[in-house]
Amino acid sequence: MNKKNNHAEAEVTEEVQLIHEKPSIGKVLSRFSRLGALLILCIGISLLNQNFLKTTNLINVFRQAAPQIIISLGMTIVFLTGGIDLSLGSVVTLTSVVSGYVLTQTNLPWWCAIIAAVGAGALSGFVTGQLIAIIKLPPAVASYGMLWVGRGLAFAIMGASPFFSFPDTFRYLGRGYFLGIPMPIWIVAIIALILGWFLKYTTLGRSLYAIGANPHAARASGIKLSKTLVSAYILSGMLAAIGGIILAARLNAVDQDMGASFLLPAIASPVMGGTSMAGGQGGVAGTIIGSLIMLVVTNGMNLLGINSLWQQLVTGIVVVLSVWLDVIMRKRN
Amino acid sequence: MKEFNGKQIRQFVLEKVPTVTWILIVMMVYFSVSNSNFLTLDNAANLCRQGAILLILCLGVIVVKITGGIELSNGAVMSLCGMVMAWVMVNLNLPPFLAIIVSMIVGILFGTLNGVFVTFMGIPSFVATLGTQGIAVGLALGMNNGNVIGGLPEGFSAIGNGTLLNIPIPLWAIILVFVVTSVLLNKTPFGVYVYALGGNEEALKLSGKPAWLYKVLAYSYSGLTAGIAACILTSRNMAAQPTVGLGMEFEAFAGAVLGGSYIAGKGTALGGALGGIFILILRNGLNILGIPTYLQLAIFGTVLITAIVLSTLVERRVQKMRDEEREE
Amino acid sequence: MKKVRLLSIIALVIAFSVLVSACQPAAEAAPAEEAVAEEAAPAEEVAEEAAPAEALTFGLVTKALNNPFWEMVHEGSLEVAEANNVELLYLAPTKANNLEEQTRLVDDLIAKKVDGIVLVPVDSTGIVPAIERANAAGIPVALANTNAGGGEVVTFSAVENYDAMKMLAEYAVETLGGKGKVIILEGTAGAQTAIDRKAGVDDTLANYPDVEVLASQTADFQRAQGLTVMENLLQAYPEIDAVIACNDEMALGAVEALDAAGRLADTMVFGFDGNNDALKAVSEDRMVATCFQNPQMQGGDAVQALIDYIAGKEVPARIQTTAILVTKDNIADFADKIAAAE
């Protein structure tokens, strides 16, 4: 595997640096297992179909992956605290509906739509966080309730007819190019860098890991548990909102179902990328790789002309196998 | 028990009956007062026919939830079971009762698959059941090119629509699954281990008992309930559609949560059934009141989260009462 | 403690037994039930006689809320209903195109004892038992847009999907000049309209050997899916002359993908339905043609048929809605709808 992927090593070291813990050979290997899986997948697909490795297709994969990566990063933050946010899919729906509402039903400029959407995401995350921190509901339960509230609000705001036809300035976020690279990829890159820095160097970022790894120790060391928890959910809500905005901008329309399909990949991607659902472990780079694995599989199947009816079957198997691989690597270490 | 004193009543009200019962009663009173068509025999008949599917799924999910796992595959597995049983009836001319057995076997197989993923492969239950969901949906879609299987034998319609001793068969199915689940959880070693798995899995492992076996069995049982629910669903529609059950896992999950099993090692069959009934009646009542669908979801979400918060607060109060008693 | 648990189980059993007695259909009931049935029967007759005088309540059940098409069916139905002083309840599955949920909605409307149901079946086969239950309860059912395989219905108001799609496909081949590379975006696997429209396209294209079908994939009738599927197909096929989508939502998704890739000028997009924003896209040259199937009229006709049926008038078993091919040539006729989109 080492020799095969020479060119990947530069990336690997970068990946490792982004991670919170100090790199050790075991950890590099375990990280490598995921990147290796991704690369083997890529090599396999490109052997079967030459179109895969073309720059345009790779950019296409990345651009498609953008909303999913951002939403998965939101989930990663929550996973770090040992929680889970089942409402992220419906937050995506809600926030894109809110931005659609501002864009088409009011005369406010386009950036107001973004502020409104991110605000709605933050608010939803705030409520989820409060339910977990103050009422002490289990995260799965609290966010599950919020899933229905968010979905319900999206339906109620929209009535029964989807919003569409947004101004070009707004759509630029989804389909424009800057320096020859699509905007969604820029947004992912910026968010990944900021988030990577945030998790590694800021007090709040570190305390997210701390309360996930051992809440009692974290409290003893002076971390405010509930405040940290709430901010984790606010952050994840805001990230989901950004995902929703990109989605709405790419699609030039919003409907009441558009976010639902993101929940499951958003859960699977961080886990595939090595973020532990138990908390305290994982990071930005892994989640990006996890998301890419899932997207490359879908893209590859489309390029290979596999009947879309069978695609979910393949995705299911890939999710199980790659998480299994991760479990094995973790045990080895 | 003959002499009730205040404390006993309070204990009964708060502790012994799942909190969701009281919210359920309030809700039912509201719906009955608001619309005369809610509390009718027809609607009750309607409810127990359409509710069987959700209730049976809830009873399976609650077992998995007690072990501390999460089950998200049963909607898809139910669809697949329906497709397989319809296929064997149409293409192999199997009689309905054999098709039912086939459906249950498929359900158990996929449940066991979940169990194997979770125990032997160490995959978190969330991800494992998601994977199984994908596999089941893929198979259900692929096996007949995404098309519906219709033209089922006439007699098969009895399962969803017929009666036995004047009781609709779906209701028999609910009672049967409910009794079996209660007995399994309360009277058998299986139940003891299921609660132990949720309470303290490590301790169970250290005691040398085959913890993995019971965990796999818990998932298999949930698969079995999906297989049973599939029979009713397919019979009610007299056709099998590959994606018919998708999304059902979320409603079943909500039922299990409301039934009081969001803490590993806790929960009862009664709670699971009541949680399912709650969701069912809420949706039904809103439809009967004639509230537009796009507003229904917002109401549904708010009521759901209120119910969850209320039952948590009550549970905490009960805990406090217990602590006080202990101090006395 | 055991006693209490026993008590609550007993309570549940009692509750169920109440349900049990409720669950018996009046027809095959025990003697005790017959009394109830007898009591109920005259009451029903009275209600039927008095019905035209009182305000009627109809239920409308469509397939989903995430496609503006169904809202247009709702609008058309509502217009006719309001003009005739009929109250119209609008329900749709929250999970788009979900048969199980739609069955529940129909059952709930039966329990509510509405006077009539306008139904757009998610699936032609699977909805039959629900229609039969409505028949058994004496509630007339009118179908709009999608047919059902059985049960007694008052009427079926729709375009002929197969013929309309053939018309569209013929036009597409004509604009292509009889040859070219084509991609077909299919509807939700298993859905009746998806099957009919796909057959319409396939049968037409089979007559033109010079038209090459590069790929035929499902995009679930959804815009987001249309976008993703098209983005991927764009990578696989450097040259695409036309996209024939089996509904407008998918067509518009494909338009977004083509536009973002800068290939909209080289590729013609054809849709189906005549949604407002698709009409707008035709007027802006972003789509070449769509097939307007007049959803408002489909819904409105079905409601009118129910009203007539209850009033004892003759109702045709099939109300054919005329499908109109919308191209740049006749787009001016739809100016009001395009204005509504803005």
Nearest CA in chain B to C15: B44
pLDDT given at position A15: 40
For residue range A138-195, list pLDDT tens digits in order. 887 788 888 888 888 888 888 766 787 788 888 888 887 888 788 888 999 999 999 9
Is A25 among the domain residues?
Answer: no
- pLDDT over threshold 60, residue C11: no
- CB-based contacts of B74, cutoff 8 Å, min separation 6: B57, B60, B61, B222, B223, B225, B226, B229, B245, B248, B249, B252
Domain that holds residue A49: 36-332
In a domain, B118, yes or no: yes
Helix axis angle for A225-251 and A183-201, nearest 10°, is 170
Kindly tell me if the per-residue pLDDT of C60 is higher than 90: yes
Q: What integer pLDDT is reported at residue A251 of this predicted model?
A: 83
Q: Is the pLDDT of residue C237 over 80?
A: yes
Buried b (16+ CB within 10 A) or exposed e, B223-248: bbbbbbbbbbbbbbbbbbbbbbbbbb
Range A193-227 burial, b when 16+ CB lie within 10 A, else e: eebbebbbeeeebbbbbbbbbebeebeeeebebee
Interface test with C, best of A161, A163, A250, A307 (most C CBs within 10 A): A161
Number of domains in chain B: 1
Neighbours of chain C (3+ CB pairs under 8 A): A, B
Does residue B1 sit within a domain? Answer: no
**Residues in contact with B211: Cβ distance below 8 Å, sequence separation at least 6, in sequence order:** B193, B196, B197, B201, B204, B205
For residue A234, the distance in angstroms to the closest alpha carbon of chain B comes to: 19
Contact A309 B145 (CB under 8 A): yes
**Which CATH number covers residue B194?**
1.10.3470
Q: Whole-angstrom Cα distance, residue A123 to residue C309?
A: 51
Any idea which of A126-130, C7-11, C266-270 has the lowest mean pLDDT?
C7-11
Q: What is the CATH number of the domain that holds A56?
A: 1.10.3470
Give B290's DSSP letter: T
Residue A14 in any domain: the answer is no
Q: What is the pLDDT at residue A28? A: 61
B257/A314 Cβ within 8 A: no
Domain membership flag for residue B37: no
Q: Which residues of chain B have pLDDT under 50?
A: 1-2
Q: Which chain A residues contact residue B121 at CB under 8 A?
A: 320, 324, 327
List pLDDT tens digits, range C76-102.
Answer: 999 999 999 898 988 888 887 888 889
> How many Cβ contacts (< 8 angstroms) between chains A and B?
144
CB contact burial B265-291 (16+ within 10 A = b; e otherwise): bebbbbbbbbbbbbbbbbbbbbbbbbb
Which residue range(s) make up the domain with B228? 48-304
- Taking residue B114's Cβ as centre, other Cβ atoms within 10 Å add up to 30
Is B168 in contact with B45 (CB distance < 8 Å)? yes
Six-digit token string for C174: 């004509």
Q: Which of A156, A174, A55, A183 is nearest to A113 (CA)?
A: A174
ipTM of the complex: 0.80
Task: Give the residue from B298, B293, B287, B252 showing the smallest Cα distance to B272.
Answer: B252
Q: Tell me which residues of chain C have a C-beta less than 8 Å from any C-beta of chain A.
A: 64-68, 70-71, 74, 90, 92, 94, 96, 189, 215, 217-218, 222-224, 227-229, 231-236, 252-253, 256, 259-260, 277, 280, 341-342
Q: Which chains touch A (3 or more CB pairs under 8 A)?
A: B, C
**C58/C46: higher pLDDT:** C58
Whose structure tokens read 């951002």? A70
Quote the number of domains for chain A. 1
Question: Which range is least confidently modeled, A260-264, C125-129, C243-247?
Answer: A260-264
Task: Report yes or no on B20 lying in a domain.
Answer: no
**pLDDT at residue C16, rounded to an integer:** 39
Q: Are C22 and B45 inside 8 Å of each other by CB?
A: yes
CA distance C209 to chain A (A): 22
> What residues have CB less than 8 Å from A189, skipping those under 6 apart?
none
Mean pLDDT of all residues belonging to chain C: 80
In chain B, the largest separation of any two C-alpha atoms, in whole Å, equals 69
- Residues A67-80: what's their mean pLDDT? 91
Residue B247 confidence (pLDDT): 80
Per-residue pLDDT at A281: 80
Q: Is residue B109 part of a domain?
A: yes
Three-state SS for C160-186 is CHHHHHHHHHHHHHHHHCCCEEEEEEE
Residue of B nearest to C187 (CA): B146
- For B25, nearest residue in chain C (alpha carbons): C15
Q: How far, CA to CA in Å, does C277 sit from each of A163, C80, C192, C271, C290?
A: 10, 24, 24, 11, 11
Mean pLDDT of A295-321: 79
Taken in order of first residue, the domains within chain C and their CATH numbers are 54-158+296-311 (3.40.50.2300), 161-292+326-341 (3.40.50.2300)
Domain annotation covers residue A24: no
Contact C235, A54 (CB under 8 A): yes
Whole-number pLDDT of residue A26: 58
